[in-house]
Amino acid sequence: MTTRESQNWSGFVLQSLGGSVTDVKGTWTIPQIDCASISGQSYAAQWVGIDGAGGSNTVEQAGTEYDCSNGVSSVFAWYEWYPARGRLLRQPGAHAGDVVTVEVSWDGRQFTASINDATQGWTYAWTNSTIGSIATRSTAEWVVEAPSVSGSIASLTNFNKLYFSKSYATNSGATGPMGSFSLDEVTMVDTSGSMKARPVLPLWNDGTSFSVWWLKAGP
């Protein structure tokens, strides 16, 4: 496993050859976030996706986001076909404590992103057939991100710990737990190189589970 640092990502990245990655999936419980510990505004996005690392100019991704504004919390589900702007799913809403499963896949013709909220009992899926010609499909990601706001990396919402489980990918036609593939372990650091969030593997791991621990807001 390779370790590296990023100013806006923490989690794990599967690295492969171009055109190899066709599916990524993960499950998590939306956390209770701590908005009282950070003044002003802060943001954190938890997602799975294809591309976005290894020099790709696209990201096909979906997940949930936890924002704070002057002590008030907001939770959203969302998807994004970057470089197009992301779309928030406001209704039906996602809530702290909900168990969600998120998947992004490529069938040779189009990408599909889906979010299932097992607690609320809804599933939404979105497709895109236009981005396939420029997507490299060389990486898969399970990531917590400090999003960019107005062109700058935002303060990271205090989520304490975010847990990923049932994390799988399909690479070169083989489907398996994320731990069965070559991975980069990514730690989020601030502008001075101090850790903001770090991925942690459990002592006994089935290859599908890990957590990301919040350490500071940054940026």
**Domain containing residue 79: CATH number:** 2.60.120.700
Cβ neighbourhood burial of 7 (10 Å; 0-12, 13-18, 19+)? middle
Q: Tens of pLDDT along 85-141?
A: 999 987 788 999 999 999 999 999 999 999 999 999 999 999 999 999 999 999 999
Closest CA to 94 of 60, 137, 123: 123
Residue 177 lies in a domain: yes
Q: Tens of pLDDT along 154-194?
A: 999 999 999 999 999 999 999 999 999 999 999 999 989 99
Predicted pLDDT at 76? 92
Predicted pLDDT at 167? 97
What CA–CA distances, in Å, run from 142 to 9, 27, 69, 150?
10, 10, 26, 24
- Identify the helix (H) or strand (E) that includes residue 58: none
Helix, strand, or coil here: 119?
A: coil
d(CA 16, CA 12): 13
Number of domains in the chain: 1
d(CA 54, CA 140): 10
pTM (predicted TM-score): 0.95
Residue 209 lies in a domain: yes
Residue 12 lies in a domain: yes
Closest CA to 188 of 7, 61, 47, 24: 7
Give CA torsion, residues 4, 183, 51, 54, to 10 deg. Answer: 50
Q: What is the mean pLDDT of the chain?
A: 94
Predicted pLDDT at 204? 78
Residue 203: pLDDT over 80: no
Judge whether 196 and 190 are in contact, CB under 8 Å: yes
d(CA 99, CA 83): 28
Residue 94 lies in a domain: yes
Q: Enter the DSSP assignment of 156.
A: B
Predicted pLDDT at 93? 85
Residue 85's contacts (CB-CB under 8 Å, 6 or more residues apart) are none
| Average pLDDT over every residue of 25-41 | 91
Residue 219 lies in a domain: no
Using DSSP bridges, classify how beta strands 183-189 and 2-6 pair: parallel, antiparallel or unpaired: parallel
Residue 199 lies in a domain: yes
Residue 59 lies in a domain: yes
What CA–CA distances, in Å, run from 207 to 119, 166, 168, 210?
25, 9, 9, 8
Confidence of residue 10 (pLDDT cuts 50, 70, 90): very high
> Domain limits at 169?
2-214
Residue 37: pLDDT over 90: no
Predicted pLDDT at 82? 94
Predicted pLDDT at 218? 83
